[in-house]
Amino acid sequence: MTPSYSIEELKPCEPILPESKHQMQTTMTLLVVVATLDGADFQLLPASFRALESDLGFGLRDLSLLAVGQGVAQGISGPFWGNLADNGVSRRYLIFYGMLSWAILTALLASITHFQTILILRILNGCALGLLTPLAQSLVADLSQKAERGYNFGWIEFGNRTLGQVIGIIFVTSVSEKRIWGMAGWRFAYCTIAFFSLLLAPVVLTLLSDPPRRYKPESIGLMNEVKCFCGYLTIPTFRAIALQGIFGTIPAAALAFGTMYLQYCGLPDATAAICFAMYPVGSGFGCLLGGSIGDRMAIWSPQHGRALTAEASVSLGMPIIVLIFLAVPRTPLAPIFGALFLTLGLVASWCPTGCNKPVFLDVVPGDHQASVMSWEKAIETTSGQLMGPSIVSNLALMVFGYQSAAESVSYMSAEQRMNNASSLGKALVAATLVPWAICLMCYVRLHWTYQIDVDAAEALPLVPS
C-alpha cells in the first residue's frame, strides 16, 4: 500500500518535548553513552589490524575486506532501522535489541579464527551498529529546540568519537599483541567491549524516554521505504549532501590505516595508539564546536550559515593531511603526530553536526527524520567503506610498493619499515585530498538549494498520495 500524507504530516519536524527536563537530559545522556560503546565497537577492527596480520596471517586486502564488510553492512542496514522508527516502532526497544545483538556478535568474534566466519560476523555486527544514526536523528528531532539541534548532535558525536573511539583505539591497540590470562590480547579486548554493551542494554530499556508516536504498520516495508527514498531524491539539498557524503567519507574510512602508519614510522604500539587517538579526541570536540558554530552561523545567516560551516571544515582539514603524511619526517615524533591528529579532528569534523543533520530536520517531513538520515548514512558509509580502505590498500600495494609482513614491526629492517610507511602515507594522501575537494564543491551547491527547500518543505508532498 502506498502511504499518503496530510499537509500537517508534511511540515518540517517540530520537537515533541518529554514530560520533564529531567527525562530529556537522561535520554540524551543515555544516547551519548550508547554512542560511546558504538564508537568503541567500531574501532575494534582497525585498532587490531596489526594483531590480525601477525596472529592470524591476514593480508592487507583481507583486512580491507573486513573493514568494507562491516562498514557497508552498517550503512545499508540503516534504512531498515529508520523505517521501523519513523513508523512508530518503539525506539527504546530497537536500541535495546540492537545493543544485545552487537554484544553477542562481538563476543563471538573473540573466539573465531577462520577468515570467512569472521567476515560473516563482521557483516552482522555492522547491521546491528547501523541502528544508532537513524534512531539518534529521530530522538534528537523530538527532544530538541531548533536552536539546540547542532549542539545536541555534537554531544552524541562527542560520545562516539572522543570517548568511544578513543577507548577502542588506545585500549585495543595497546593490548592487541599481548597475552592476557592466556588469550590473545585482541580477543580479550573484544570480550571486554561486548561485556559493557551487554551491561548497558537493560539500563537503556529502563530509563530511555521515547515520546509516543502513531504506529503505522501499513508503512513498514521495503517498497514503502524505497518510495520514500525516491521522494528524498527530489529534494536538491538532499542530493547535494548525499553526493558530498559519497566522497567525503572516503578519507575517514581510509584513515583506518592511521595507526598502522604510525607503527611503521617507529612508534611503539601504545604510543601509536595514543597519537592516532588524538584524531577522534579532536573530532569529538570538533563535533561539539561545529554544532555550536553551525547553530550560530544559522542565526547570523539562515540561508548560508550552515553551508559556510561545512566549507570551512573541509578546507581546514586538507593541508593538515599533507603535513601528517608527507611533510613530517617518518621517525618517532610522537608529540608532533599527536598534535597534528588532534588538530585534524578538531577542524575537519564540523559537517555532520554543523550542517548535514540540522539541515535535514529543516527540509524533510517530521515523520521521516530517521529514514532520511539512514539513507544519507547508507549512501556515504557504503561508498566510503567500499572505496576508502580499498583505495588505500590498492594504491599502497600496486602503486607505492607496500610489502605485507607477518613479523612484528620491531623485527623488520629499517628499510622495509620506511618503505611501508612511505607507501601508506602516499596512499592516504591520495585517498583524502581528491575526495575532499569534490566534497567541498558539493557544499557550495547548498547556497542555492537550502532556502528553496526550506520554503517548499511545508507545501510539497514527499510521496504522492
Amino acid identity, position 132: L
- Please give the pLDDT value at position 368: 73
Residue recorded with cell 535520554: 27
- Please give the pLDDT value at position 317: 93
CB 133 within 8 A of CB 374: yes
294-308 residue pLDDT tens: 989 988 998 899 999
Compute CA 369 distance to the chain's CA centroid, rounded to the nearest angstrom: 18
- Please give the pLDDT value at position 315: 94
Q: How many residues does the chain have?
A: 465
- Cα–Cα distance measured from residue 22 to residue 301, given in angstroms and rounded to the nearest whole number: 32
182-193 residue pLDDT tens: 787 888 888 888
C-alpha cell, 307: 553551508
110 pLDDT above the threshold of 60: yes
- Cα–Cα distance measured from residue 287 to residue 33, given in angstroms and rounded to the nearest whole number: 16
Amino acid identity, position 416: Q
- Please give the pLDDT value at position 321: 93
Portion of the chain with pLDDT greater than 70, in percent: 88
366 pLDDT above the threshold of 80: no
Domain boundaries defined on the chain = 21-206+219-456
Pinpoint the alpha helices (H) of 348-413: 351, 357-363, 369-394
Q: When comparing pLDDT for 54 and 428, which is higher? A: 428
- Please give the pLDDT value at position 20: 60
- Please give the pLDDT value at position 407: 59
Mean model confidence pLDDT for the chain: 81
CB 141 within 8 A of CB 361: yes
22-45 residue pLDDT tens: 777 788 888 888 888 888 887 787
Candidates 91, 94, 101; CA nearest to 197 is 101
462 pLDDT above the threshold of 60: no
| Whole-Å CA distances, 209 to 16, 17, 34, 151 | 12, 10, 14, 19
- Please give the pLDDT value at position 114: 82
12 forms beta bridges with 365
**Maximum Cα–Cα distance across the chain:** 69
Q: How confident is the model at residue 343 (pLDDT cuts 50, 70, 90)?
A: very high
- Please give the pLDDT value at position 17: 46
CA torsion sign for 76, 77, 83, 86 is negative
258 pLDDT above the threshold of 80: yes
CB 390 within 8 A of CB 37: no
Provide CATH code, domain 21-206+219-456: 1.20.1250.20
User: Which segment of 15-29, 235-249, 442-456 scores lowest on mean pLDDT?
Assistant: 15-29
- DSSP output for 140-177: HHHH--GGGHHHHHHHHHHIIIIIIIHHIIIIIHHHTT
Tell me what the mean pLDDT of segment 221-246 comes to.
85
CB 332 within 8 A of CB 271: yes
167 pLDDT above the threshold of 70: yes
138-165 residue pLDDT tens: 888 777 776 777 778 888 888 887 788 7
- Cα–Cα distance measured from residue 209 to residue 106, given in angstroms and rounded to the nearest whole number: 27
Q: How confident is the model at residue 8 (pLDDT cuts 50, 70, 90)?
A: very low
- Please give the pLDDT value at position 411: 62
Tell me what the mean pLDDT of segment 320-327 comes to.
92
The 3-state DSSP class for residue 459 equals coil
Return all residues near 234 (Cβ < 8 A) that are at least 6 apart: 462
Neighbours of 238 (CB within 10 A): 23
Candidates 215, 42, 52; CA nearest to 129 is 42
- Please give the pLDDT value at position 18: 45
Tell me what the mean pLDDT of segment 65-86 comes to.
82
Tell me what the mean pLDDT of segment 226-230 comes to.
82
Neighbours of 230 (CB within 10 A): 11
371 pLDDT above the threshold of 50: yes
Q: Tell me which range, 51-65, 305-319, 364-378, 449-463, is most confidently predicted by mean pLDDT.
A: 305-319
pTM for the whole thing?
0.71
Q: When comparing pLDDT for 63 and 317, which is higher? A: 317
- Cα–Cα distance measured from residue 99 to residue 81, given in angstroms and rounded to the nearest whole number: 13
Q: Which run of H or of E encompasses 180?
A: strand 179-180
Q: How confident is the model at residue 11 (pLDDT cuts 50, 70, 90)?
A: very low
User: Which segment of 77-91, 106-120, 347-361, 448-462 scores lowest on mean pLDDT?
Assistant: 448-462
- Cα–Cα distance measured from residue 179 to residue 101, given in angstroms and rounded to the nearest whole number: 27
Candidates 370, 404, 397; CA nearest to 91 is 370
- DSSP output for 37-100: HHHHHHHHHHHTHHHHHHHS---HHHHHHHHHHHHHHHHHTHHHHHHHHHTT--HHHHHHHHHH
Tell me what the mean pLDDT of segment 262-282 comes to.
85
- Please give the pLDDT value at position 276: 86
- Please give the pLDDT value at position 2: 36
- Cα–Cα distance measured from residue 435 to residue 440, given in angstroms and rounded to the nearest whole number: 9
172-226 residue pLDDT tens: 877 777 788 878 788 888 888 889 989 999 998 888 887 777 777 777 777 787 8
- In angstroms and rounded to an integer, the radius of gyration of the C-alpha atoms of the chain is 21
Q: What angle do CA 68, 322, 442 make, to 5 degrees?
A: 65
Q: Which run of H or of E encompasses 179?
A: strand 179-180
- Please give the pLDDT value at position 7: 31
CB 375 within 8 A of CB 78: yes
- Cα–Cα distance measured from residue 90 to residue 131, given in angstroms and rounded to the nearest whole number: 13
